[in-house]
C-alpha cells in the first residue's frame, strides 16, 4: 500500500513547548505498530475538521530514523492557522492520524568531508534527523550548522545541539539572530551573510538547507551562479 494511502494512528506521548511559538510533539505508534522512514523525510498530519475532510499539513521528522515506534515533530505557531490551532489545543494522549513518509531530500552518501546545515525556524527538524540518524555511521565528518531565528527568546534546542557537539568529533553550531537584543554577542543578520566562513571552495562540502525560501534562494544564487558549486552538492526544502 502506498505512503499516501496508509493512515498511521499515533498517540501523543509528550508535548514540549520550547518557546511561545515552537511546540514539539513526541508521538508513538498505535496502529500499525511500526513506522519506517529515511532521514530527511516528512509526514502529513491529518488535521480533523469535524464532518468535513481532514486538512493535510506537512512536517519534517525530527528524530532518528532507526526508531520504528514513533517520531518527533516541531511546529511553528501561525496565528489563526488551522494546524496551529489544533496542535496547540492538544493536552497529551490524543490519537493523531498521519500519512507518509514522503520526500526525497536524503543524506547524500558517500558524504563529503564537510556537511553544512543552514536552517531557519523549525527547518531545524530535517537537520536534527540527519545528525541523529547518521552520527554513529559518520562520526568524523566536519559538521557545521547555522540556525537562524529572530531574537534570543526564539532560540531553542541548545541542549540537544550541545549534546551532539559532545558526541561528534567536529560539530559546531551557531545561532544567527535577525533582531537581537543589545547584549547579543553572536552572529547578527541573516544566514546567507556568513556562508563564506565555511571555506567550501577548498573543502569538499555538501549543503543542506531547510526553512525560509528567501534564504535558500540567496544561498543557491551565491553557491551556483557566483561560485560555480556543483548543484548536486546543494539540497534544499523551503517552507515559510
User: What is the architecture, at CATH level 2, of domain 8-101?
Assistant: Beta Barrel (2.40)
> Nearest 5°: phi and psi at 167?
-80, -40
Whole-angstrom distance, CA of residue 109 vs CA of residue 115: 11
pLDDT of residue 212: 92
The span from the CA of 12 to the CA of 19, in Å, is: 19
- Residue pair 135/111 in contact by the 8 Å Cβ criterion: no
Instruction: Choose among 68, 198, 74, 75: nearest CA to 133.
Output: 68
Give the percent of the chain with pLDDT over 90: 95
The strand ranges marked E within 105-169 are 114-120, 142-149
CB 209 within 8 A of CB 235: yes
Give the DSSP letter of residue 107: P
3-state SS assignment for residue 71:
strand
Per the rule left: phi > 0, alpha: psi between -120 and 50, beta: everything else, 121 is left
Q: How long a stretch of residues is the chain?
A: 240
**Tens digit of pLDDT for each residue in 127-164?**
999 999 999 999 999 999 999 999 999 999 999 999 99
Is 135:164 a contact under the CB 8 Å cutoff? yes
Question: Residue 51 and residue 158: Cα distance in Å, rounded?
Answer: 41
CB neighbour list of residue 162: distance below 8 Å, 6 or more residues apart: none
Taking Cα atoms as reference points, which of 161, 132, 138, 147 lies closest to residue 67?
A: 132
pLDDT band at 5 (very low <50, low <70, confident <90, very high): confident
DSSP notation for 142-207? EEEEEEEESSGGG---HHHHHHHHHHSTEEEEEEEESS--TT--SEES-GGGSGGGG-TTTS-EEE
Is-contact 83 45, C-beta < 8 A? Answer: yes
| Mean confidence (pLDDT) of the chain | 96
Q: With a cut of 80, say whether residue 1 has pLDDT above it.
A: no
Tell me the per-residue pLDDT of 181-208, one tens digit each, with 9 for 90 and over: 999 999 999 999 999 999 999 999 999 9
CATH architecture classification, 114-238: 3-Layer(aba) Sandwich (3.40)
Sign of CA dihedral 129, 172, 159, 146: negative
Q: Per-domain residue ranges for the chain? A: 8-101, 114-238
Amino acid at each position: 500500500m502506498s505512503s499516501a494511502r496508509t493512515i498511521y494512528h499515533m498517540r501523543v506521548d509528550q508535548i514540549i513547548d520550547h518557546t511561545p511559538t515552537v511546540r514539539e510533539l513526541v508521538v508513538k505508534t498505535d496502529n500499525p505498530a511500526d513506522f519506517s522512514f529515511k532521514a530527511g523525510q516528512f509526514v502529513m498530519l491529518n488535521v480533523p475538521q469535524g464532518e468535513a475532510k481532514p486538512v493535510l499539513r506537512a512536517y519534517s521528522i525530527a528524530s532518528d530514523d532507526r526508531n520504528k515506534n514513533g517520531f518527533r515533530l516541531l511546529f511553528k505557531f501561525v496565528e489563526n492557522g488551522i494546524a496551529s490551532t489544533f496542535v496547540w489545543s492538544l493536552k497529551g494522549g490524543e490519537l493523531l492520524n498521519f500519512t507518509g513518509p514522503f520526500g526525497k531530500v536524503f543524506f547524500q552518501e558517500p558524504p563529503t568531508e564537510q556537511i553544512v546545515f543552514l536552517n531557519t525556524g523549525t527547518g531545524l527538524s530535517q537537520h536534527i534527523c540527519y545528525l541523529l540518524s547518521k552520527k554513529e555511521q559518520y562520526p568524523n565528518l566536519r559538521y557545521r550548522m547555522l540556525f537562524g531565528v529572530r531574537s534570543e527568546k526564539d532560540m531553542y534546542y541548545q541542549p540537544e545541539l550541545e549534546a551532539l557537539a559532545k558526541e561528534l568529533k567536529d560539530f559546531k553550531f551557531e545561532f544567527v539572530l535577525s533582531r537581537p537584543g543589545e547584549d547579543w554577542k553572536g552572529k547578527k543578520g541573516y544566514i546567507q551573510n556568513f556562508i563564506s566562513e565555511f571555506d567550501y571552495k577548498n573543502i569538499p562540502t555538501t549543503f543542506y538547507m531547510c526553512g525560509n525560501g528567501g534564504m535558500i534562494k540567496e544561498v543557491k544564487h551565491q553557491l551556483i551562479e557566483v561560485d560555480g558549486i556543483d548543484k548536486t552538492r546543494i539540497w534544499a526544502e523551503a517552507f515559510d
